[in-house]
Chains A and B, each alone.
Chain A
Amino acid sequence: MAAATTEIRWHGRGGQGAKTAAIFLAEAVLDQGKHSQGFPEYGPERRGAPVRGFTRISDAPIRLHCSIAEPDYVIVLDPTLLDSKAAGVPDGASDDTVFLINTVETPANIRKRLGIKGGKVHTVDASLIAQECFGRPIPNMPMIGALAAVADVITLENLVASLVVRFKKKFSQAVIDGNVTAVERAYKELVSE
């Protein structure tokens, strides 16, 4: 709504970390003095079902308490959602919307699959990066790394610092290191049009 608010919509399947990513990013930007909101869309909770997550980031307090219908950024964790009408990946996108897709395909192919003319499409093989870096194909953290490369919401340095602090409570050093490498790789390996 307010021009200064960045609205991000996440599309994934249950188990891929769309909810975690939406909330992680919201909390990570606080260290930069931003205001934020991160929330998932709740429905039947089951692994593999399409889920959406939402993140709002702003320099001013955020007052909106509704879903994100016209996102600035659309992040897709699972490319099989691209063809799903129910998942609604391109819904509400404008000519300025930026798409970040976890896929092996090229941005040009994705553009065709989504049936969009405007906007910008970036791709990265986040599942492969995750598999290689920490042994599980969970793409959410590398996708945040990819976002840091194209969006002015968080720097790579702040993202890594925040990841280390927040993961320390739950994970081993090996898992943390793997995630840091994955984030850095996705930041660099992003393919743009």
Chain B
Amino acid sequence: MKQIYVGLTGNEAVATAFKQARPHVAPAFPITPQTEMMHKFADFVADGVVDTEMILVESEHSAMSAAIGSAATGARTFTATSSAGFALMWEVVYIAASLRLPICMPVVNRALSGNINIHNDHSDAMGGRDAGWIQLWCENTQEAYDHALMCWRIAEHKDVRLPVMINYDGFIISHTSESLHILPDEDAWKFVGPKDLKTGYSLLDMDHPITVGPLDLTDYYFEHKVSQIEALKRAPKHIAEVYKEFGQLTGRHYSFFEEYRTDDADLVIVALGSTAGTAKDVIDAQREKGVKVGLLKIHMFRPFPAAELAKALSKAKVVGVMDKAASFGGWGGPLFNEIRSALYDLPARPKIHNWIYGLGGRDTDVKQIAALIDQLQAIAKGREAETVNLLGVRL
């Protein structure tokens, strides 16, 4: 298949993928840095390129509520958000997952207030990690585009039927024009396909009326939560299948996590999002100096591939987990806690340390990551170090 080589910002790339997926409904409310994505999509609608019905609501709480109503009828539905907007829709974010509605939503990652900060970190999405959504994370515009096509196949699969969050870094990806390959509209549509309106329940099925979201107390609530837990357990199999099919189609092969030069690595950095790209350049430079360092970049954070990660990290001597979110009062960042817990049952655990970095968009450059690798090397040689550390902050 011939692909098209273009320069698009992350927001433009995701809007393009969503256009190609021909959603029925898109409730929208602006928030930086997501706004431009919905703006671009609204252009497609206004130009008649796609016949999605846009609902211009008055808040993010309403955006997600409208998305839930729409998806409950069976319509292919998306919305998008960032930061405080995501926080405002909190209550209903959980309901989308509880009702098993295959809504897709880019979370264009931005710091939470206060003070007010429009730049990137992961505190918004990390707050939503337990909401019952599938969470996929992207390094660059190419990955954001690809996941914005694949998410529909994952969310709408009859054995999954869960909402999917696609995370990409605010400004660093959302507002950066990068070269990428996109599919022609027809090929993208062939891959995504029409929504199967017969699977599941629909509010509009008058012959089989149902109640959605009723009171659910001590009698059944627990069982319903277990059905969500089970759905998330089933998801990886289908995510892997979609990744495989997409790889065959495009030559871009994804997995739950990407391992970069980890084969013989004594030191492994674990990261999410755009920083992984910068880390790869630093790792190449360190490798030339003989430092055995690699990177593990996570695509699928929810559900969390604990067993696979434990296996992948089992041969490392020191693991450095980078968290672009603080867990106030907790012991280390959210990614660190998950990774560390996943390694607990290994017969011989690597040493594992945490670095909180990049909060509020603090630039994370080559020098910072090189300094982190220096610390990993020192730890490997036996130097004592704090479990939880900070990177790139003035103290």
A165 surroundings in chain B (CB, below 8 A): none
CA separation between A61 and B179, bound complex, in Å?
8
CA separation between A66 and B370, bound complex, in Å?
14
- How big is chain A's contact interface, by range? 20 to 34
Contacting pair B177 A38 (CB below 8 A)? yes
A2 on interface, CB distance cutoff 8 Å: yes
Contacting pair B366 A66 (CB below 8 A)? yes
- Indicate which residue in B118, B171, B179 contacts A39 across the interface (CB closer than 8 Å): B171
Chain A, interface SS category:
loop
- Indicate which residue in A27, A35, A42 contacts B175 across the interface (CB closer than 8 Å): A42
Closest to A1 in B: B281
A64 surroundings in chain B (CB, below 8 A): 277-278, 281, 366
B176 on interface, CB distance cutoff 8 Å: yes
A30 surroundings in chain B (CB, below 8 A): 5-7, 179
A26 surroundings in chain B (CB, below 8 A): 7, 177-179
Given contacts A30-B6, A42-B171, contact A65 B177 (CB under 8 A): no
Closest to B175 in A: A39
Contacting residues of chain B (1-21) with chain A, CB-CB under 8 angstroms? 5-7, 9
CA separation between A38 and B140, bound complex, in Å?
13
B144 on interface, CB distance cutoff 8 Å: no
Contacting pair B177 A36 (CB below 8 A)? yes
B364 surroundings in chain A (CB, below 8 A): 66
B6 surroundings in chain A (CB, below 8 A): 27, 30
- Indicate which residue in B140, B177, B277, B365 contacts A23 across the interface (CB closer than 8 Å): B177
B169 on interface, CB distance cutoff 8 Å: yes
Contacting pair B177 A27 (CB below 8 A)? yes
A37 on interface, CB distance cutoff 8 Å: yes
Most buried by A among B173, B175, B274: B175
Contacting pair B363 A67 (CB below 8 A)? yes
CA separation between A1 and B364, bound complex, in Å?
14
Contacting pair B177 A37 (CB below 8 A)? yes
Query: In angstroms, how far is the closest chain B Cβ from the Cβ of A111?
Result: 28
Contacting pair B175 A65 (CB below 8 A)? no
Closest to B171 in A: A42
Contacting residues of chain A (17-61) with chain B, CB-CB under 8 angstroms? 23, 26-27, 30, 34-40, 42, 61
Query: In angstroms, how far is the closest chain A Cβ from the Cβ of B282?
Result: 8
CA separation between A35 and B118, bound complex, in Å?
28
CA separation between A10 and B176, bound complex, in Å?
15
**B-to-A contact residues, CB < 8 Å:** 5-7, 9, 118-119, 139-140, 169, 171-173, 175-179, 274-275, 277-278, 280-282, 284-285, 363-366
What are 7 of the A-B contact pairs (CB < 8 Å)? A38-B7, A39-B175, A63-B140, A63-B277, A64-B281, A66-B364, A66-B365
Which 7 A-B residue pairings sit nearest by Cβ, starting from the closest? A27-B7, A63-B277, A65-B274, A39-B176, A66-B365, A38-B177, A23-B177
